[in-house]
Structure 1
Amino acid sequence: MKKKIVMEIINPNAAGIDVGSRSHFVAVGQGSDDVKEFGVYNEDLNSLVQWLLLNEVTTVAMESTGTYWQSLFAVLQNADFKVILCNGKFTKNIKGRKTDVQDCQWIQKLHTIGLLTGSFLPDEATEQLRTYCRHRANLLDQAADTTRKMQKYLRLLNLRLDVVVKDITGLTGLSIIEAICTGETDAAKLASLRNGNCKKSEEEIAKALQINGRTDYFFALKHEYKMYQYLQSSIKECDIEIEKLLSNQINNSENKREHFLDKKVHKRINKNTPKNMDLNLMAYQYFEGIDLLAIEGVSYSTVLSIMSEVGLEGIKKFATAKQFASWLRLAPNNKISGGKVLSHKIPKGSSRLKIALRNAANVIGNLKDTPLSNFFCRINYRKGRVSAISATARKLAIIIWNMIVKKQPYNNEHGYEFLDQKRKRKVQEMKKLIHKFDIKTDELGLQLNGL
């Protein structure tokens, strides 16, 4: 007698959609008449919704294929369907069956028996902020590429500005490049544009600015400088939109608006940080009184990534800090067979937030005598810097989740200390060690007074 395996139906009125660039295949059942193809135009999407309503569908599962799913997802949500957006690796079909019709039927079958889980999606306000921040990051990448090209053409013109200034897009560098693009070739006059903060003298700068007169390189340099100026103005426009969006979110919430925080004199403001807003105060208000910048190594760009990639409400969707770290792919992916651990590597793939946390962890590795830097050093000693960066990034994710969700302030027992404060603390620690081990002054070979 043949045995039959019966699986419980979790979603009886389910549909599966195979998303494509030119058409969408929709299945409401496993029969040949239960599959229909729709186009990607707006009227086609409305027809798709009407067909689902006609078949009494209440929940829909679809793959997150590129950006083709977003318009369809918005239309389905507006029609009050329960939409499950799935990772493509969880909907892979069995071997030997690969057509659009069979794919959508397979998705419908998996969703009917409850084997599909939805991906994380931020709220609408966070999604808008993410669009602006990602576009700004792309503009910064283009500006960096333009800067490298300007440096290349300067070098080909025998203008070794990169040798005498630290950054050719700084105050001194941009002033000299602008004068060169307007036709100035006198080295002494170019060197006189030196900013007072520049370490090199005018004489040394003048020696580095002896142009060779190549018109083709000069033409290319002018175009790259114009592109750099355009990108900088675009970045400022993007900053204005980001500030406007964050201000609206803060002003529309009494819980956010009531908080206030003083400026942090110890936090360095990078040249790529938005200058038209006080991110220290806005982040404190956005997270309703949680100061993420109190964590050493966390910069303004790190906090902006958290706000735009996951948001305040988004991070609360994760039940535990471990789930948040696993979603970021910062937790080990244990593979066990026969009671033996085959692998425990971190999964591949890097989201923008994961990269931001790893960058912050790398900065922490360069700090000295802080709780997180001491943790970094211990992992670095045993497993190397790459593993230390991953472990510290995961620890940062755990700390951030607990701060935002559980309202736990970051505990740094020493806080931010200046040189004289750190010196006093070190003296106290040395006094305790000397008294603990009963060390004599002649054993140290030093004349210790006041101990």
Structure 2
Amino acid sequence: MRGPGCKHSEEEIGRALTGTWREGHLFVLKQSLELFDFFTEEIESCDEEIVRRYGLTRPEWPTPKDGAASKKKNSHSKNAPASAKEIRQHLVRIAGVDLTLVDGFGVSTAQTVLLEAGTDMGKFPTDKHYCAWLGLAPKHEISGGQVLKNATLKTKNHAGQAFRMAAQSVKRAQCPFGALYRRLKVRLGIEQATVATAHAIARVLTTMLKYNVDYDPASVNEYQLQAIALMPSS
């Protein structure tokens, strides 16, 4: 069973597998295995309950046509739970669009954003208001007509954190958001590039939910140009 790329000999592997099998160690191992099996069953039970509750949710938009499966390659798909495909189908049905097609988004990220903010973008007058609520917009502190501080608002908004994670996940990707992140990172640094890219992703997602339109990578160009125009000159 030794792999061809293994650097250790069969004798070394055999010695490594030789244990003392002390009673105390076996008892701890038995308990650990039972805990692992228990938590695995509980996670599966939670996944089943999530899927059941999604099935009870009635969407505001007409049900999308079947067969609109995601064609985007997801590098984390091998770590996704077995119910991820079914949850994605429910998310598409509820939102009216497939948010997992957005670069940097997966089932977990899309689920977090929808659970935190919902699908009704009408409660936000503009996409800028939505980004401010997420903590992805600068908060100007002005006194005497002068800007004293210009930093993003500190918030524990889970949706905002999800967008930041999405921005981090595309930093090496060959996609519009990845190109935007890398360009901003050179001039603004990692932190500001992450926030600016998350801001751009949030605005695209707002348009998708508000107007029930599918993700179009070409639409990111507008936000790239806006972000680049705001970069400080060297």
- Could you state the TM-score of these two structures normalised by the residue count of structure 2? 0.79
Give the match for residue 232 of structure 1: 40
Give the Å deviation of 1:286. Answer: 1.3
Written as runs of structure 1 = structure 2, the 5 A alignment for 1:389-404 is 389-404=194-209
Distance 1:303 1:391, change over 3 A: same
Rg larger for: 1
Of the three residues 123, 132, 140, the one matched with 1:326 is: 132
Of the three residues 84, 95, 98, the one matched with 1:291 is 98
- Over residues 127-151 of structure 1, what are the superposed CA-to-partner deviations in whole Å (9 max), with x where a residue is unaligned? xxxxxxxxxxxxxxxxxxxxxxxxx
CA distance in 2 between partners of 1:400 and 1:359 (Å): 15
Tell me: CA distance 1:217–1:318, structure 2 relative to 1, closer, same or farther (3 Å): farther
Instruction: Give the equivalent residue in structure 2 for 1:312.
Output: 119
Partner of 2:50 in structure 1? Answer: 242
Work out whether residues 88 and 107 of structure 2, in 8 Å CA contact, stay in contact via their aligned partners in 1: yes
1:18-76 Cα offsets, whole Å, 9 max, x none, are xxxxxxxxxxxxxxxxxxxxxxxxxxxxxxxxxxxxxxxxxxxxxxxxxxxxxxxxxxx
1:279 counterpart letter in structure 2:
I
Q: Which runs of 5+ in 2 are unaligned?
A: 219-234
1:353 aligns with 2:162: no
Q: Quote the residue 1:338 is aligned against.
A: 144
CA apart distance, 1:345 = 1.3
| 1:263/1:280 contact within 8 Å kept | no
How far the C-alpha of 1:225 sits from its partner, in A, is 2.5
Give the TM-score, by structure 1 length: 0.43
Matches within 5 A, 1:408-419: 408-413=213-218
Letter in 2 for 1:285: R
Return the letter of the residue paired with 1:297. Answer: G
Q: Does 1:373 align with 2:183?
A: no
In the alignment, the residues of structure 2 paired with residue 256 and residue 223 of structure 1 have an alpha-carbon distance, to the nearest angstrom, of 50
- Cα 1:276–1:389 change in 2 (3 A) is closer
Q: Secondary structure at the match of 1:257?
A: coil
Paired amino acid for 2:142:
I
1:383 aligns with 2:188: yes
User: What is the Cα-based RMSD across aligned positions, in Å?
Assistant: 2.9
Matched residue type, 1:392: T
* Preserved contact between residue 318 and residue 324 of structure 1 (Cα < 8 Å): yes
Distance 1:384 1:213 in 2: 53
- Whichever residue aligns with residue 173 of structure 2, its letter is L
1:256 deviation in Å?
Answer: 4.0
Please give the per-residue CA displacement for 1:102-141, whole angstroms capped at 9, x wherever unaligned.
xxxxxxxxxxxxxxxxxxxxxxxxxxxxxxxxxxxxxxxx
What is the CA-CA distance between 1:213 and the residue it aligns to?
4.2
> Structure 1's 254 and 375: CA in aligned 2 closer, same or farther, altered over 3 A?
closer
Q: Which residue identity does 1:229 align to in structure 2?
A: D
Which AA in structure 1 matches 2:104? Answer: G
Give the Cα–Cα distance (whole angstroms) in 1 for the partners of residues 78 and 157 of structure 2: 22
Instruction: Give the conservation status (yes or no) of the 8 Å contact 1:305–1:356.
Output: yes
How far residue 412 of structure 1 moved from its aligned partner, in angstroms, is 1.6
**Matches for 1:43-58 after TM superposition, within 5 Å:** none
Judge conservation of contact 1:297–1:363 (CA < 8 Å) in 2. Answer: yes
Q: CA deviation at 1:200?
A: 4.7
- Partner residue, 2:19: 211
Q: Which amino acid letter does the alignment assign opposite residue 57 of structure 2? A: Q
Structure 1's 276 and 382: CA in aligned 2 closer, same or farther, altered over 3 A? closer
Report which of the two has the higher share of helix.
Answer: 2
Do residues 273 (structure 1) and 81 (structure 2) align? Answer: yes
Once the two structures are aligned, what percentage of the paired residues are identical?
26
* Alpha-carbon shift at residue 324 of structure 1 (Å): 0.9
1:47 aligns with: none
> Per-residue deviation at 1:270?
4.6
Structure 1 gaps of 5+ residues are 1-191, 414-451
